[in-house]
Amino acid sequence: MNTTTDNSLAPSLVQSLRAGTREMHERLDKAIMAADPFASLPGYARFAELQYLFHRDIAALYAHEALQYILPGLAERQRLGLIAADLADLGKALPADDMPPAFTAGEPVDVPTALGWLYVAEGSNMGAALLRKEAAKLGLSDDHGARHLAPAAEGPAAHWRAFTAGLDAARLGPDEEARAVAGAKAAFDRVRSLADARLA
Ligand code: HEM
The answer as to whether 110 is a domain residue is yes
Which residues of the chain fall short of a pLDDT of 50?
A: 1-5
The answer as to whether 30 is a domain residue is no
Report the DSSP beta bridge partners of residue 95. none
Report the nearest-CA residue for atom 23 of ligand 1.
124
* Alpha-carbon gap, residue 195 to 106, rounded angstroms: 29
In this prediction the pTM is: 0.93
The closest-lying atom of ligand 1 relative to the alpha carbon of residue 188 is 5
Q: Which of 25, 47, 198, when mutated, tests ligand 1's pocket best, judged by the most ligand atoms within 8 Å of its CB?
A: 25
pLDDT in tens, 43-52: 999 999 999 9
125 alpha carbon to ligand 1 midpoint, in Å? 7
**Is the Cβ–Cβ distance between 178 and 184 less than 8 Å?**
no
User: Residue 84: its pLDDT value, please?
Assistant: 98
Give the pocket of ligand 1 (CB within 6 Å).
14, 18, 25, 28-29, 32-33, 119-120, 123-124, 126-127, 130-131, 191
Which SS3 state, helix, strand or coil, does residue 144 take? strand
Instruction: Give Cβ neighbours of residue 154 (< 8 Å, ≥ 6 apart).
Output: 162
* Alpha-carbon gap, residue 152 to 127, rounded angstroms: 13
**Is the Cβ–Cβ distance between 151 and 159 less than 8 Å?**
yes
pLDDT in tens, 13-43: 999 999 999 999 999 999 999 999 999 999 9
The answer as to whether 164 is a domain residue is yes
The answer as to whether 85 is a domain residue is yes
Instruction: Give Cβ neighbours of residue 9 (< 8 Å, ≥ 6 apart).
Output: none
The answer as to whether 9 is a domain residue is no
Query: Any idea what the CATH number is for the domain that residue 105 is in?
Result: 1.20.910.10
The answer as to whether 8 is a domain residue is no
The answer as to whether 180 is a domain residue is yes
User: Residue 5: its pLDDT value, please?
Assistant: 47
Total number of domains in the chain:
1
Q: Which of 22, 51, 54, 126, when mutated, tests ligand 1's pocket best, judged by the most ligand atoms within 8 Å of its CB?
A: 126
Report the nearest-CA residue for atom 32 of ligand 1.
127
The answer as to whether 27 is a domain residue is no
126 alpha carbon to ligand 1 midpoint, in Å? 5
User: Residue 65: its pLDDT value, please?
Assistant: 96
Q: Produce one character per residue of 19-48: b if its CB has 16 or more CB atoms within 10 Å, e if not.
A: ebbeebbeebeeebeebebbeeeeebbbbb
Domain housing 97: 36-198
The closest-lying atom of ligand 1 relative to the alpha carbon of residue 120 is 10
- In 3D space, the residue among 181, 140, 173, 139 whose CA is nearest the CA of residue 15 turns out to be 181
